[in-house]
Amino acid sequence: MIIVLWVPFANASPIDDAAEYSVRVKSTVRYAFAGEGTGTSDGAGFLIDKTRGWILTNAHVSGYGTGDIEVSFKDHGYHNAKPVYIDKELDIAVIEVLAKNIPDESSEAKLDCGDRPLNGVAVAAFGHPHGLTYSASRGIISKVR
């Protein structure tokens, strides 16, 4: 399954656009379950429902729901989050923050879950690799397998 993030790039930079809906997710697993590791990990997610406080991320980023989860919006501190849905097979998680902790300037990401052919579709990846917070890169889907 591939979820394509529809990005209109209304601002001058995809990084500026991403800052409106992307977040940093930090999870801390203190007690391992079934051979999974302990420790703290950091990853990305994006706001999909502002009213409910739902954020889409990867299951591995959320600690598979077995740890403490915190979420930070750009230029804001961390707030506690809790798992709503975790799918280890698809590596997808929906986590929830209190709606009151979502900054006013944040907006929901637009998802394109249609069934159109994806080969050659332009995409953008947003994240926080190696300390480069709220960074973006562009590419295309070369082939769906």
Task: Compute mean pLDDT per 10 residues along the chain, 145 residues long, and list them.
Answer: 48 67 90 74 92 95 88 95 95 96 92 79 82 84 81
- Sequence-distant (≥ 6) Cβ neighbours of residue 47 within 8 angstroms: 21, 22, 23, 54, 55, 102, 106, 107, 108, 109
The three-state (H, E, C) secondary structure of 114-137, written as one string: CCCCCCCCEEEEEECHHHCCCEEE
For residues 36 and 42, give the distance between their C-alpha atoms in angstroms, rounded to a whole number: 16
Looking at residue 2, its pLDDT comes to 43
